[in-house]
Amino acid sequence: MSRGKDGDGVLEPEIDGASSLSLEGICAQKRQQAQQLLGAGELWLIAARETGVRPEPALQLILPCDFTWDAFVILTGTAAIAIVGRYDAPGLPAGWEVISYDEDPGDALRSVLRSLNPRRVLIDSSPDHPLMDGLSHGLYLKLQSLLPGITFNSAEQLLGRLRSLKTPQEQRLLARAVRRAEEDLTWVAEILQPGMSEREATSLLQDRLRADSLEPAWGWQGCPGFSFGRQPSHAGSGDRILEEGQLVHVDYGVRMGGYCSDLQRVWLCAGEPDLGLNAAFAAVRQAIDAAAAALRPGARGYQVDAAARAIITSAGYPEYLYATGHNLGRATHDGGPLLGPRWARYGRSPEGSVEAGQVYAIELGVMVEGAGYLGLEEDVLVSDSGAVWLSEREEALWKLP
Amino acid sequence: MSRGKDGDGVLEPEIDGASSLSLEGICAQKRQQAQQLLGAGELWLIAARETGVRPEPALQLILPCDFTWDAFVILTGTAAIAIVGRYDAPGLPAGWEVISYDEDPGDALRSVLRSLNPRRVLIDSSPDHPLMDGLSHGLYLKLQSLLPGITFNSAEQLLGRLRSLKTPQEQRLLARAVRRAEEDLTWVAEILQPGMSEREATSLLQDRLRADSLEPAWGWQGCPGFSFGRQPSHAGSGDRILEEGQLVHVDYGVRMGGYCSDLQRVWLCAGEPDLGLNAAFAAVRQAIDAAAAALRPGARGYQVDAAARAIITSAGYPEYLYATGHNLGRATHDGGPLLGPRWARYGRSPEGSVEAGQVYAIELGVMVEGAGYLGLEEDVLVSDSGAVWLSEREEALWKLP
Give the span between the Cα atoms of A348 and A352, in whole angstroms: 8
B133 chain-A contacts, CB cut-off 8 A: 54, 136-139
Among the partner-chain residues B54, B55, B235, the one whose CB lies closest to the CB of A90 is B235
- Whether the per-residue pLDDT at B2 is higher than 60: the answer is no
**Angle, CA A19 vertex, CA A13 and CA A22 arms, to 5°:** 130
DSSP 8-state assignment for residue B351: G
Q: Which B residues, 154 through 213, put their C-beta within 8 Å of a C-beta on chain A?
A: 154
**Angle, CA B22 vertex, CA B2 and CA A237 arms, to 5°:** 150
What's residue B184's pLDDT?
A: 98
In a domain, A95, yes or no: yes
Give the span between the Cα atoms of B318 and B280, in whole angstroms: 12
Give the span between the Cα atoms of A269 and A371, in whole angstroms: 10
Give the distance from CA B326 to its chain's centroid. Answer: 7
Give the span between the Cα atoms of B147 and B106, in whole angstroms: 8
- Smallest CA-to-CA distance from A1 within A261, A272, A391 is with A391
Residue A111 belongs to domain with CATH number: 3.40.350.10
A347 chain-B contacts, CB cut-off 8 A: 142
Residues A217 and A359 in one domain: yes
What's residue B16's pLDDT?
A: 53
Residues B311 and B352 in one domain: yes
- Last residue in a domain, options A163, A188, A220: A163
Give the span between the Cα atoms of B356 and A22, in whole angstroms: 47
In a domain, A76, yes or no: yes
Q: Are A30 and A164 in contact (CB under 8 A)?
A: no
Kindly indicate the confidence band of residue A345, based on its pLDDT and cuts at 50, 70 and 90: confident
Residues A368 and A223 in one domain: yes
Residues A378 and A323 in one domain: yes
Residues B202 and B117 in one domain: no
Among the partner-chain residues B65, B133, B233, the one whose CB lies closest to the CB of A136 is B133
Residues B120 and B169 in one domain: no
A132 chain-B contacts, CB cut-off 8 A: 138
A125 chain-B contacts, CB cut-off 8 A: 136-138, 141
Q: Do A50 and B235 touch (CB under 8 A)?
A: no
- Whether the per-residue pLDDT at B211 is higher than 60: the answer is yes
What's residue A4's pLDDT?
A: 45
In a domain, B11, yes or no: no
Q: How many CB pairs under 8 A join A and B?
A: 188
**Which residues neighbour B89 within 8 Å (Cβ) at sequence distance 6 or greater?**
A233, B98, B100
Residue B110 has a CB neighbour count (10 Å cut-off) of 14
Number of compact structural domains in chain A: 2
- Last residue in a domain, options A130, A163, A196: A163
What's residue A235's pLDDT?
A: 81
What's residue A234's pLDDT?
A: 82
Among the partner-chain residues B69, B106, B344, the one whose CB lies closest to the CB of A106 is B344
DSSP 8-state assignment for residue B319: P
CA distances, A72 to each of A98, B200, B313 (Å): 10, 32, 31
Q: Are B7 and B389 in contact (CB under 8 A)?
A: yes
Q: What is the DSSP secondary-structure string of B168-203?
A: HHHHHHHHHHHHHHHHHHHHHHTT--TT-BHHHHHH
Residue A357: phi and psi, rounded to 5, are 100, -10
Q: Are B216 and B206 in contact (CB under 8 A)?
A: yes
Among the partner-chain residues A123, A140, A218, the one whose CB lies closest to the CB of B52 is A218
In a domain, A240, yes or no: yes
SS3 A197: strand
pLDDT digits (tens, 9 = 90+) for B63-85: 999 999 999 999 999 999 999 99
For residue A401, the distance in angstroms to the closest alpha carbon of chain B comes to 30
A52 chain-B contacts, CB cut-off 8 A: 218-219, 221-222
pLDDT digits (tens, 9 = 90+) for A220-251: 888 999 999 999 988 889 999 999 999 999 99
In a domain, A32, yes or no: no
For residue A1, the distance in angstroms to the closest alpha carbon of chain B comes to 31
Among the partner-chain residues A67, A103, A344, the one whose CB lies closest to the CB of B103 is A344
Q: Do A65 and B221 touch (CB under 8 A)?
A: yes
pLDDT digits (tens, 9 = 90+) for A127-186: 988 999 999 999 999 999 999 999 999 999 999 999 999 999 999 999 999 999 999 999
Q: Which A residues, 223 through 252, put their C-beta within 8 Å of a C-beta on chain B?
A: 232-235
Residues B296 and B147 in one domain: no
In a domain, A47, yes or no: yes
**If you measure CA to CA, which chain B residue comes closest to A128?**
B138
Q: Are A76 and A158 in contact (CB under 8 A)?
A: no
Edge-to-edge strand list for the sheet holding A259-260: A215-216, A254-256, A259-260
SS3 B14: helix
In a domain, B259, yes or no: yes
Residues A259 and A359 in one domain: yes
Residues A157 and A169 in one domain: no
Q: Which A residues, 253 through 272, put their C-beta within 8 Å of a C-beta on chain B?
A: none
A219 chain-B contacts, CB cut-off 8 A: 52, 66
- Last residue in a domain, options B96, B131, B162: B162
- Counting residues of chain B whose pLDDT is more than 90, the rounded percentage is 87
**If you measure CA to CA, which chain B residue comes closest to A346?**
B103
In a domain, B28, yes or no: no
Residue B188 has a CB neighbour count (10 Å cut-off) of 21
Residue B41 has a CB neighbour count (10 Å cut-off) of 12
Give the distance from CA B239 to its chain's centroid. Answer: 28
Residue B180: phi and psi, rounded to 5, are -65, -45
- Whether the per-residue pLDDT at A8 is higher than 60: the answer is no
Burial A86-100 (b: 16+ CB within 10 A, else e): bbbbbbbeeebeebb
Q: What is the 3 state secondary structure string of A327-385? A: ECCCCCCEEEEEECCCCHHHCCHHHCECCCCCEEEEEEEEEECCCEEEEEEEEEEEECC
**Angle, CA B163 vertex, CA B162 and CA B169 arms, to 5°:** 90
**If you measure CA to CA, which chain B residue comes closest to A143?**
B127
Residues B259 and B314 in one domain: yes
For residue B82, the distance in angstroms to the closest alpha carbon of chain A comes to 15
For residue A218, the distance in angstroms to the closest alpha carbon of chain B comes to 6
Checking ipTM against 0.85, whether it exceeds it is yes
Burial B315-327 (b: 16+ CB within 10 A, else e): eebeebebbbbbb
Q: What is the DSSP secondary-structure string of B221-258?
A: TTSSEEEESS---TT---SPBP-TT-EEEEEE-EEETT
Give the span between the Cα atoms of B371 and A68, in whole angstroms: 26
What's residue B5's pLDDT?
A: 39
Among the partner-chain residues A70, A104, A137, the one whose CB lies closest to the CB of B137 is A137
Q: Which A residues, 113 through 132, put their C-beta within 8 Å of a C-beta on chain B?
A: 123, 125-132
**If you measure CA to CA, which chain B residue comes closest to A156?**
B138
Give the span between the Cα atoms of B237 and B224, in whole angstroms: 7
Q: B23 burial class (0-12, 13-18, 19+ CB within 10 angstroms)?
A: middle
Q: Do A345 and B69 touch (CB under 8 A)?
A: yes
Please state the rounded mean pLDDT for residues B128-151. 95
Residue B263 belongs to domain with CATH number: 3.90.230.10
Residue B114 has a CB neighbour count (10 Å cut-off) of 8
- Structural domain for A79, as ranges: 38-163
Residues B129 and B67 in one domain: yes
pLDDT digits (tens, 9 = 90+) for A288-298: 999 999 999 99
Residue-averaged pLDDT of chain B: 93
Among the partner-chain residues A49, A103, A137, the one whose CB lies closest to the CB of B343 is A103
Residues B158 and B83 in one domain: yes
**If you measure CA to CA, which chain A residue comes closest to B51?**
A130
Q: Do A136 and B131 touch (CB under 8 A)?
A: no
B50 chain-A contacts, CB cut-off 8 A: 130-131, 331, 333
What's residue B10's pLDDT?
A: 38
Q: Do B137 and A128 touch (CB under 8 A)?
A: no
Please state the rounded mean pLDDT for residues B34-40. 97
Q: Do B232 and A87 touch (CB under 8 A)?
A: yes
- Whether the per-residue pLDDT at A266 is higher than 70: the answer is yes
pLDDT digits (tens, 9 = 90+) for B187-207: 999 999 999 999 999 999 999
Q: Which A residues, 34 through 63, put their C-beta within 8 Å of a C-beta on chain B?
A: 49-50, 52-55, 57
